[in-house]
Structure 1
Amino acid sequence: MSIVAVPGSKSVTARALFLAAAADGVSVLRRPLVSDDTDGFAAGLETLGYEVERGPDAWRITGRPAGPAAAEAEVHCRDAGTASRFLPALAAAGHGTYRFDASAQMRRRPVAPLTEALRSLGVDLTHDEAEGHLPLTVVAHGIKGGAIDLDASLSSQFLTALLMAGPLMAEGLRIRVTGIVSVPYVEITLAMMRRFGVEVGRDGDTFAVPPGGYRAQDYPVEPDASAASYFFAAAALSGRSATVPGLGTDALQGDLRFVDVLARMGAEVETTADATTVTGTGRLSGLTVNMRDISDTMPTLAAIAPFADGPVRIEDVYNTRVKECDRLEACAGNLRRQGIRVETGRDWIEIHPGTPAPVEIACHGDHRMAMSFAVAGLRTPGTTFDDPECVRKTFPGFHEFFAAVRADWGV
């Protein structure tokens, strides 16, 4: 059995950075993820005038409930969806003029549901080029708050950004959600807001966020469940055992539910109070599974699906088409190049059993393509990648880390 100490959660780190910046006092984040996305988020806070002190095992953030210290700033969000969606909402609650831009990849991803919601709250916001996309400029005069409708069917990050900004609004915020995806990520947000002193009321599809602000916290960041999925899948595929400490029954992240999918396919899963273990049994069964709420793990399952004894059909994952790349088609394209029969629809992919050929995987600049097909490479020696270093977005050093686990397993 291998003990796999995966890095901290990207989702938790990004939310903690926002909440700490908005809180009254100095917060300490323990074992945050250090990656390109989180570095970009922290750098964005610094550009806005927040004090961020980054040590090797902990980051200290001095909060400013009144908003950014800088009266003007240009923030580059790199490839990070969290920074691109969360930071404009944080800045809008302050006072100043702030421009947000990002990489070409991130510019292609939508932000319209968020920016339309902010405009409906009276925020002076302009898309500088393509409507509904970065770059955008916010001229902030604080936000009164009120009631809005929001479509979060493309990304739960739009809802999270508004929920976290709600306590900074003079009258709080009431959000009626007309569509939503990745609900577990919203549950992370609500739990973390509670930890920072704000209790969000919920009645069906309506969220009520009270005004009043946040209290600084000493906050431990749990390991990244999406990153853990690669090692759990590798164990199931290779007949080995992987234990990830820090992801137990009280874990915040919904992506830990990926182990339930592996259990349905035949792997043995044990979850205790402080760890989860997956052990491969030498077989993988085909299945049909709805992955709407754990869609970041869709590529992990797609990459190992050819090794199942029957078709693997993944449904309700349209939102994966508007991630770092069109993940549904990227998975299908790579699998077809490996000689695997694949069908796709608007929001589904079906993968048939086969023996994948070793090819160069097209990563499309997407960290999850590289890491998912690295797992499948356990059974397909000779697999290579056109952009292996794209993993730096969320897991710098992944390939070396994965190689060490493989060596420990003797595979």
Structure 2
Amino acid sequence: MAVVDIPGSKSITARALFLAAAADGVTTLRRPLRSDDTEGFAEGLTRLGYRVGRTPDTWHVDGRPQGPAVTEADVYCRDGATTARFLPTLAAAGHGTYRFDASAQMRRRPLLPLTRALRDLGVDLRHEEAEGHHPLRVAAAGVEGGAVTLDAGQSSQYLTALLLLGPLTRKGLRITVTDLVSAPYVEITLAMMRAFGADVRVEGDVFAVAPGGYRATTYAVEPDASTASYFFAAAALTGREVTVPGLGEGALQGDLRFVDVLRRMGAHVEIAPDRTTVRGTGELRGLTVDMRDISDTMPTLAALAPFATGPVRIEDVGNTRVKECDRLEACAENLRRLGVRVRTGPDWIEIHPGTPSPAEIKTYGDHRIVMSFAVTSLHTPGIGFDDPGCVRKTFPDFHEAFGAWAAEALPRGGARPHRNGEHTRSEI
């Protein structure tokens, strides 16, 4: 049995950093993710005057319920969407003038639903160039709170940012949501807010957050379920087994539901209280699946899909078009480069069985495109990437870890499972 230690969750680490910064006291984060995104978030907090002490496995954050310690700051958010969306919201609860900018990739990503909601709450926020995009400037004077309406149909991060802000407002927040994508990520936010002492309730489409701030705590970050999906998919493809400790029945992350998709395709899945194991059975069936709530794993399934015995149709993933790149189109283009037949629509992709041929994957600087098509490469030697290093965003050591698992699970010359009636040999 191959056991893989997956780095901490990016989503949980980002939320934990916000909560720790806003809490009253010193918070200890255990096993936070150390990657370009989370380092960028921590650096942004430091620019705002928060103290962040870091050791390899533990971070300590001195919280400031009153907001940033400085009255002026210029924060560069790198490629991080959580950094670029959460930190301006955190700064709005303080007092001062704060400017936020980001990479060219992040500048292209939409922000307007969140900034409109902040303005509706009285925040003095100005986009310096394109409306609804970075760079932006916040002239903060605290947030009174009250009722606000939000469209979170493009990104659940808009709702998370407002929820996290709620306890820092003077009157609390009552958020009416007209549309919501990736709802499990909001469940992560709610659970973590409660762990830091917040009072938050859900009444249908309304989220009610009481004022009162947060309490410092010690918080353990669970492994990243989106990252685990590449190893789970690799096991399902190769007929081998992988176990990820720390992700089990009580996991916060909805992306662990990706293993249910693999189960439907024919893999054996065991979810225990403290771990999840996937074992390939030599069969991958085609299917139609709605991935609206686990859309970060859509590229993983797309990269695995050619090896199924029937078409794989992934639906309700229109929001993946406004991620680090247009992921839906990036998957389609790269599968076609590999010689696989693909059809797409506004929010769906259909992938037909085929035998991929070696080609260079166009990554668009997107870490998830690289890690997903690394799964394809297990059955297609010769696949390359134009920017393999972009995995530093969430998993700097991905290539080493994935290669080590493949070397252990698939000894050179070892047999692979049958696919479409043909027997192939491993060339790992």
> Shorter chain as normaliser: what TM range?
over 0.9
| Residue 57 of structure 2 corresponds to residue 57 of structure 1 | yes
Other-structure match for 1:388: 388
Other-structure match for 2:400: 400
Other-structure match for 2:179: 179
Moved more, 193-202 or 180-189: 193-202
Structure 1 position 199, deviation (Å)? 2.4
Structure 1 position 28, deviation (Å)? 0.3
Give the aligned residue type for 1:348.
Answer: W
| TM-score normalised over the length of structure 1 | 1.00
What does the per-residue CA deviation read over 1:165-215, in whole Å, with 9 as the maximum and x for residues that have no partner? 100000000000000000000000000000000121110000000000000
Other-structure match for 1:358: 358
Helix, strand or coil for the counterpart of 1:53?
strand
In structure 1, what is the Cα distance between the partners aligned to 2:55 and 2:165? 27
Other-structure match for 1:335: 335
Other-structure match for 1:267: 267
Other-structure match for 1:47: 47
Other-structure match for 2:22: 22
In structure 1, what is the Cα distance between the partners aligned to 2:56 and 2:390? 23
Q: How many residues align?
A: 411
Helix, strand or coil for the counterpart of 2:52?
strand
| Residue 247 of structure 2 corresponds to residue 278 of structure 1 | no
Other-structure match for 2:419: none
What does the per-residue CA deviation read over 1:31-53, in whole Å, with 9 as the maximum and x for residues that have no partner? 00000000000000000000000
Other-structure match for 1:90: 90
Other-structure match for 2:112: 112
Give the aligned residue type for 2:48.
Answer: L
Helix, strand or coil for the counterpart of 1:5?
coil
In structure 1, what is the Cα distance between the partners aligned to 2:232 and 2:353? 20
What does the per-residue CA deviation read over 1:346-393, in whole Å, with 9 as the maximum and x for residues that have no partner? 000000000001100000000000000001100000110000000000
In structure 2, what is the Cα distance between the partners aligned to 1:131 and 1:164? 24
Other-structure match for 1:5: 5
In structure 2, what is the Cα distance between the partners aligned to 1:32 and 1:361? 30
Helix, strand or coil for the counterpart of 2:258?
helix
Helix, strand or coil for the counterpart of 1:380?
coil
Structure 1 position 397, deviation (Å)? 1.3
In structure 1, what is the Cα distance between the partners aligned to 2:82 and 2:384? 29
| TM-score normalised over the length of structure 2 | 0.96
In structure 1, what is the Cα distance between the partners aligned to 2:199 and 2:391? 35
Other-structure match for 1:122: 122
> How do 1:232-247 and structure 2 match up within 5 A?
232-247=232-247
Task: List, as ranges, runs of 4+ consecutive aligned residues in structure 1 with deviation greater than 6 Å.
Answer: none
In structure 1, what is the Cα distance between the partners aligned to 2:183 and 2:2? 31
In structure 1, what is the Cα distance between the partners aligned to 2:201 and 2:296? 27
In structure 2, what is the Cα distance between the partners aligned to 1:36 and 1:102? 13
Other-structure match for 1:205: 205
Give the aligned residue type for 2:71.
Answer: A
Helix, strand or coil for the counterpart of 2:283?
coil
CA RMSD of aligned residues (A): 0.4
What does the per-residue CA deviation read over 1:307-332, in whole Å, with 9 as the maximum and x for residues that have no partner? 00000000000000000000000000
Other-structure match for 2:258: 258
In structure 2, what is the Cα distance between the partners aligned to 1:298 and 1:106? 20
Other-structure match for 2:72: 72
Seq. identity, %: 73
Other-structure match for 2:318: 318
Structure 1 position 124, deviation (Å)? 0.3
In structure 2, what is the Cα distance between the partners aligned to 1:217 and 1:288? 43
In structure 1, what is the Cα distance between the partners aligned to 2:402 and 2:287? 27
Other-structure match for 2:156: 156
Helix, strand or coil for the counterpart of 1:321?
helix
Gaps of 5+ in 1: none
Give the aligned residue type for 2:258.
Answer: F
Helix, strand or coil for the counterpart of 2:259?
helix
Give the aligned residue type for 2:245.
Answer: P
In structure 2, what is the Cα distance between the partners aligned to 1:205 and 1:164? 17
In structure 2, what is the Cα distance between the partners aligned to 1:337 and 1:271? 36
Structure 1 position 77, deviation (Å)? 0.3
Structure 1 position 283, deviation (Å)? 1.1
What does the per-residue CA deviation read over 1:8-40, in whole Å, with 9 as the maximum and x for residues that have no partner? 000000000000000000000000000000000
In structure 2, what is the Cα distance between the partners aligned to 1:83 and 1:219? 19
In structure 1, what is the Cα distance between the partners aligned to 2:310 and 2:361? 23
Other-structure match for 1:297: 297
Give the aligned residue type for 2:278.
Answer: V
Structure 1 position 119, deviation (Å)? 0.2
| Residue 157 of structure 2 corresponds to residue 167 of structure 1 | no
In structure 2, what is the Cα distance between the partners aligned to 1:358 and 1:13? 36
In structure 2, what is the Cα distance between the partners aligned to 1:338 and 1:376? 10
What does the per-residue CA deviation read over 1:242-269, in whole Å, with 9 as the maximum and x for residues that have no partner? 0000000000000000000000000000
Structure 1 position 92, deviation (Å)? 0.2
Other-structure match for 1:195: 195
In structure 1, what is the Cα distance between the partners aligned to 2:272 and 2:110? 38
In structure 2, what is the Cα distance between the partners aligned to 1:2 and 1:146? 51
Other-structure match for 1:214: 214
Other-structure match for 2:423: none
In structure 1, what is the Cα distance between the partners aligned to 2:200 and 2:292? 24
In structure 2, what is the Cα distance between the partners aligned to 1:74 and 1:2? 45
